[in-house]
Amino acid sequence: MSRARWIVPLAALAAIALIPDLRAIALGFLDGAFGGRNMFNLWSTVSRASILLGMAVGVLVAFRAGLINLGGEGQLVLGGLAAALVGIYAPLPVWAIVPAAVLGAMLAGGLWGMLALWLDRGLKVPLLVGSLLLNYPAGYFASWLASHPLRDVASGIAQTHRIDRDARLPRFDGTILDYGIFFTVAVALLVILADRYSVFGYRLRMQGLAPGFARAQGMPTGRLGYQALFLSGAIAGLTGFTAVFGFAQRYVDGMLTLPLYAWTGIVAVLLAGIVPWRVPIAAALFAVLATGAGGMERVAGIPRESAQIITGLVILWLAGSGRSLMRRRGE
Amino acid sequence: MIWDATFFESIPRFITPLLLAALGGALCHRAAVFNIALEGMMLIGAFFAVVGSYFTAHWLGGIGAALAAGLASGGLYAWFTVRRGGDDIVVSIGLNILAAGLTVFLLRAMFDQRGQFDDPAIATLPRIPLPGIDAIPVAGPLLSGQSVLFWLALALVPVLHWGLVRHRLGLRLRAAGDNAPALRTLGLSPERIRTLAILASGALCALGGAQLSISNVSLFTEGMSAGRGWIAVVIVMMCASRPLWILPAAVFFGLVDAMGVRAQAYGLPQQLTDALPYVLAIVVMAATLRRATLRVRI
């Protein structure tokens, strides 16, 4: 058995090394993820990893507290939208635009997350389903705004006007990577450290691991839940801000939903086994997978959606590998 | 006029996919399988219905391919949950992502199309005319000229109700959900019964997808199921998996869909009418679920 575990990967590596076509595809993958002119592809991988990291960390906060928040997509979209509204229309001095947009994005995402928990606690709509259903009104609303009232009519597609030039997040010299990554990395570090060392993190973990115990200990489980969902949604919203002020410089219809950022973030957290320090690694892995698949498409014409197929298979395999990622209570 | 023949004709087309998927989900639920991969299974069914119909130039080919693909996705689900002990929710998430990726991948690999594939060679389901009824003002367009899947879905409601209540297999299915050890003492395997339920749900969802792609229209677009699988999950939860209750719930959401499409003709933006079923789903769930039917933890 232990030998069989090595045979398949070794055979695969040997096949890639020996068969020229496969080698070309593998090189295309590597080039798509790490290469390109002026390391263009590497920076786009890092840029995507930043978005996925933000989404994954947002999900992580909720999952650690035992709350299955599948509403990351709606929280991300509303955050991005709020940031775009502030960036384009708020009559603020330039220095105030970014803080206001961050605040707006985090509020929009956080409140949308709290709404999902309120539906669960107050109206008995299970969080799993309620949070997921909230994605659709948020997504369609943003899509409508971007294609009708806020549309930049001069451009041919459904998108808003550009963010003011001086307020956009600057890029690192000579790359396409913007400063948005500072936000997501900082949030990820904060969450990882807070989870481990702060009282709040301990309480969230306790509520996730043993809600009955947490309540018996006198922890404010009601308030903690809302705090966790607000934080989870706010981080997703902040991620939307980095995308809108960073690489897109405006809100483009579908820019946050079509790449399945939110779902990939959830998958990354599951792959990490809901262990905080592993989450950035998992997020980076899925970013490499997505941009590498783009490289395979350019080299060999393999549609880049192969990355989504592999993502789906990874999660199926993980679920079936016997590790208990989620357990349902009361069965 | 909003209440014209076209409107009534469209209602059953919107009801059918929801009804089929919800019935499939209900079977799983009754056997204690929380299948929320209905969305992905529908999408796969919609795609392979187009594939089968295109290559065989006959609607039966489309139905056959959709059924095969639905059973395959059900088999995949059953393998990872029942056989390998994976969590229903995680496997569902995986299957939904897989379905979204696979259909777009194959759309490009097989037909070299992006976004949408339509071709005159795609055969659509025959419409069943009902002579005599088709002249009646409302019932005519409502009932005459509907697809065979509509009638199948309608027929399944009493059949599944009777089967779950009266038939031995239905009893065993419920036992697999409510009291698996009792089933084991009879020398029966709850795992096998759950697998059957999952396979049935895969087939039913795929038929729902086929209704979307080769009956309502004759084309496939990326993400064609557009959240209907989630509405079906809501219907299953609202109705506590009882087929007789699922029918009115599916009719309700089908009506909402039909009215949304109609409202677009009056200048209401598509995005807002598209969002309506999801908002209503939350409202209806809040109104009907008096206690949480589901508790999830990590």
Answer for the pair A269, A56: CB distance below 8 angstroms, yes or no. yes
How does DSSP classify residue A170? Answer: P
pLDDT over threshold 90, residue B69? yes
Residues near B155 by beta carbon (within 8 Å), at least 6 away in sequence: none
Chain B interface includes A143 (CB < 8 A): yes
Is residue A2 very low, low, confident or very high in pLDDT (cuts 50, 70, 90)? low
Compute the C-alpha angle B16/B18/B23, nearest 5°.
95
| Closest listed residue to residue A243, CA positions, set A293, A168, A296 | A168
Is residue B103 very low, low, confident or very high in pLDDT (cuts 50, 70, 90)? very high
Token pair recorded at residue B226? 């557009």
Element (H, E) at B53: helix B38-56
| C-beta atoms of A125 and B286 within 8 A | yes
Q: How far apart are CA B140 and CA B142, in angstroms?
A: 5
Over range B159-165, report the average pLDDT: 92
Answer for the pair B278, A73: CB distance below 8 angstroms, yes or no. no
Greater pLDDT, A106 or A163: A106
Q: How far apart are CA A128 and CA A264, in angstroms?
A: 17
User: How would DSSP label each residue in A28-71?
Assistant: HHHHHHH-SGGGHHHHHHHHHHHHHHHHHHHHHHHHHTT-----
What percent of chain B shows pLDDT beyond 90? Answer: 41
Q: How far apart are CA B151 and CA B149, in angstroms?
A: 5
User: Residue A250 to residues A59, A85, A136, A182, B143: CA-CA distances in angstroms?
Assistant: 25, 9, 21, 19, 48
Compute the C-alpha angle A99/A105/A108, nearest 5°.
135
Answer for the pair B161, B172: CB distance below 8 angstroms, yes or no. no
pLDDT of residue B298: 38
Between positions 279 and 298 of A, the ones with CB within 8 A of B are none
Sign of CA dihedral B116, B119, B122, B123: positive
Q: Is residue B296 part of a domain?
A: no
Between positions 177 and 216 of B, the ones with CB within 8 A of A are none
pLDDT over threshold 80, residue B108? yes
Q: How many CA atoms lie within 13 A of B14 on its CB side?
A: 26
Answer for the pair B218, B51: CB distance below 8 angstroms, yes or no. no
Helix (H, G, I), strand (E, B) or coil at A90: coil
pLDDT of residue B1: 53
Answer for the pair B198, B25: CB distance below 8 angstroms, yes or no. no
Is residue A323 very low, low, confident or very high in pLDDT (cuts 50, 70, 90)? low
pLDDT of residue B271: 83
Closest-CA distance, B87 to chain A, in angstroms, reads: 6
Domain total of chain A: 1
Q: Which of B85, B98, B296 sits opposite A128 (nearest CB)?
A: B296
Tally of CB atoms within 10 A around B174: 18
Q: How far apart are CA A269 and CA A191, in angstroms?
A: 13
Chain B interface includes A179 (CB < 8 A): no
Mean pLDDT for all residues in chain B: 87
Q: Is residue B245 part of a domain?
A: yes
User: Residue B105 to residues A96, A294, A305, A310, B281: CA-CA distances in angstroms?
Assistant: 44, 12, 5, 11, 31
| C-beta atoms of A308 and B101 within 8 A | yes
Between positions 9 and 38 of A, the ones with CB within 8 A of B are none
Q: Which of B90, B95, B233 sits opposite A270 (nearest CB)?
A: B90
Q: Which of A137, A208, A306 sits opposite B275 (nearest CB)?
A: A137
Q: Is residue A100 part of a domain?
A: yes
Chain A residues in contact with B295 by the CB 8 A cut-off are: 126, 328-330
| C-beta atoms of A66 and B95 within 8 A | no
Tally of CB atoms within 10 A around B148: 17
Chain A interface includes B233 (CB < 8 A): yes
pLDDT of residue A121: 87
Q: How far apart are CA B28 and CA B202, in angstroms?
A: 10
Is residue B207 very low, low, confident or very high in pLDDT (cuts 50, 70, 90)? very high
Chain A interface includes B93 (CB < 8 A): yes
Q: Is residue B132 part of a domain?
A: no
Q: How far apart are CA A61 and CA A226, in angstroms?
A: 12
Q: Is residue A67 part of a domain?
A: yes
Q: Is residue B227 part of a domain?
A: yes
Chain A interface includes B168 (CB < 8 A): no
Q: What is the pLDDT of residues A252-293, one digit of tens each?
A: 888 888 888 999 999 899 888 888 999 999 999 999 998 888
* Residue of A70, A119, A124 to mutate for B, most B C-beta atoms under 10 A: A124
Strands B116-118 and B219-221: antiparallel
Is residue A54 very low, low, confident or very high in pLDDT (cuts 50, 70, 90)? very high
Our CA dihedral for B129, B130, B135, B140, rounded to 10 degrees, sits at -80
Answer for the pair A81, A108: CB distance below 8 angstroms, yes or no. yes
Q: What is the pLDDT of residues A22-43, one digit of tens each?
A: 888 888 888 888 887 778 888 8
Q: What is the pLDDT of residues A177-204, one digit of tens each?
A: 888 899 999 999 999 999 999 989 988 8
From the centroid of its chain, how far is CA A244? 14
Rounded to two decimals, the ipTM of the complex is: 0.85
* Residue of B83, B87, B233, B268 to mutate for A, most A C-beta atoms under 10 A: B87
Length of chain A: 331
pLDDT over threshold 70, residue A327? no
Q: Is residue B68 part of a domain?
A: yes
Element (H, E) at B117: strand B116-118
Closest-CA distance, B74 to chain A, in angstroms, reads: 13
Q: Is residue B135 part of a domain?
A: no
Length of chain B: 298
Q: How far apart are CA B292 and CA B232, in angstroms?
A: 18
CATH number, domain with residue B61: 1.10.3470.10
Q: Contacts by A115-121 with C-beta closer than 8 Å and gap 24+? A: A116/A69, A116/A71, A116/A229, A116/A233, A117/A67, A117/A225, A117/A226, A117/A229, A118/A226, A119/B282, A119/B286, A120/B292, A121/A222, A121/A225
User: Residue B254 to residues A78, B117, B155, B228, B280: CA-CA distances in angstroms?
Assistant: 28, 25, 17, 10, 12
Residues near A156 by beta carbon (within 8 Å), at least 6 away in sequence: none
| Closest listed residue to residue A326, CA positions, set B296, B233, B35, B36 | B296
pLDDT of residue B241: 80
What percent of chain A shows pLDDT beyond 70? Answer: 96
Q: Which of B90, B98, B230 sits opposite A133 (nearest CB)?
A: B230
pLDDT over threshold 50, residue B295? no
Burial letters A195-210, b for 16+ CB under 10 A, else e: beeeeebebbbbbbee
Q: How far apart are CA B26 and CA A219, in angstroms?
A: 38
Token pair recorded at residue B104? 């777009």
Query: Which chain A residue lies closest to B281 (C-alpha atoms)?
Result: A133
pLDDT of residue B144: 78
Is residue B131 very low, low, confident or very high in pLDDT (cuts 50, 70, 90)? confident
pLDDT of residue B221: 87
Q: What's the Rg (C-alpha) of chain A?
A: 21
Q: Which of B90, B290, B291 sits opposite A315 (nearest CB)?
A: B90
Answer for the pair A160, A146: CB distance below 8 angstroms, yes or no. yes
Answer for the pair A138, A73: CB distance below 8 angstroms, yes or no. yes
Chain B interface includes A308 (CB < 8 A): yes
Q: List the domain range (segments joined by +) for residue B173.
A: 5-126+143-288
Q: How many CA atoms lie within 13 A of A191 on its CB side?
A: 33
Q: What is the pLDDT of residues B240-255, one digit of tens each?
A: 788 888 999 999 999 9
Answer for the pair A150, A158: CB distance below 8 angstroms, yes or no. no
User: Residue B159 to residues B29, B177, B242: CA-CA distances in angstroms?
Assistant: 17, 20, 12
| Dihedral pair phi/psi, residue A168, rounded to 5° | -60, 155
Chain B interface includes A151 (CB < 8 A): no
Over range A124-146, report the average pLDDT: 90
Over range B171-194, report the average pLDDT: 89
Chain B residues in contact with A265 by the CB 8 A cut-off are: none
| C-beta atoms of A316 and B91 within 8 A | yes
Chain B interface includes A148 (CB < 8 A): yes
pLDDT over threshold 50, residue A330? no
Q: Is residue B94 part of a domain?
A: yes
Domain total of chain B: 1
Q: Is residue B12 part of a domain?
A: yes
Q: List the domain range (segments joined by +) for residue A73.
A: 42-256
